[in-house]
Amino acid sequence: MKRLESWLATTALLATVAVGAPMNGTPRNNENADLQGSAQSAGRLAADPRSLANGVYAVLREGLTRAEAQTEKRPHVVLVYDRKYSDADKDRPPEYVALDTSFFVPLVLAGQPDAQRDDQGWTLLNITLARQHVKTLEDFTRAHLDGRIAIVIDGEIITMHKVRSVIKDGKAQITRCSDDACRTLLLKLTE
């Protein structure tokens, strides 16, 4: 339950998802090593991206290099989205993603998540946020309607999605989730 409470932001919660940096903190190359130490939370530099709260975060910018993803607009963290949980995108190169750390949705659930399959074989993950985060999710989805969000667990982007509607009741469906990403989300949410 404590892991669920620390699982921040609302990308999967909001309606769609995104992916990110290695959980073990082991850089894959020099650029990733530079990226690992670039986490910035609420205007302060974080020593380790894994200290980032689990949740749903707005995507500020994406790029093929750390420099392309950097932004001066808001407090943010830059993580690597390596798509290691995405069956469909495994051949795409990793990208750097700047996430807004000033306004996010903590992933604290009211109950167990529910996984189903749609008619095309995609996994749908249904979740309900704890009452204290329902208004935050509504405000977040309204502010980022049609925008990209990332679901972050243990300092790693698991999936990235597009916010398709304002979520007013705290009940979100994560759609277009590849099997590995949804399986990982489900496992992380039920630990």
pLDDT in tens, the chain (191 residues): 333 333 333 333 332 232 233 222 323 333 333 332 223 333 333 335 667 888 999 999 999 999 999 988 788 999 999 888 877 677 788 999 999 999 999 999 999 999 888 887 777 889 999 999 999 999 999 999 999 999 998 899 988 999 999 999 999 988 766 666 777 888 888 87
Q: Would you state the pLDDT for residue 128?
A: 95
pTM for the whole structure: 0.72
Question: In this structure, which long-range contacts are made by residues 134-139, counting pairs with CB atoms below 8 Å and at least 24 apart in sequence?
Answer: 134/168, 134/169, 134/170, 136/10, 136/105, 136/106, 137/10, 137/13, 137/14, 137/56, 137/105, 137/167, 137/170, 137/172, 138/166, 138/167, 138/168, 138/170
Q: Would you state the pLDDT for residue 92?
A: 84
The structural domain count of the chain equals 1
Q: Give the domain range for residue 125.
A: 2-190
Quick check: helix, strand or coil at residue 35?
helix
Closest CA to 9 of 146, 165, 181, 163: 163
Q: Would you state the pLDDT for residue 150?
A: 95
Work out the end-to-end distance of the chain between its first and last CA atoms, rounded to an integer number of angstroms.
7
Q: Would you state the pLDDT for residue 32?
A: 32
Q: Would you state the pLDDT for residue 24?
A: 29
CA 70, CA 89: separation in Å to the nearest integer? 23
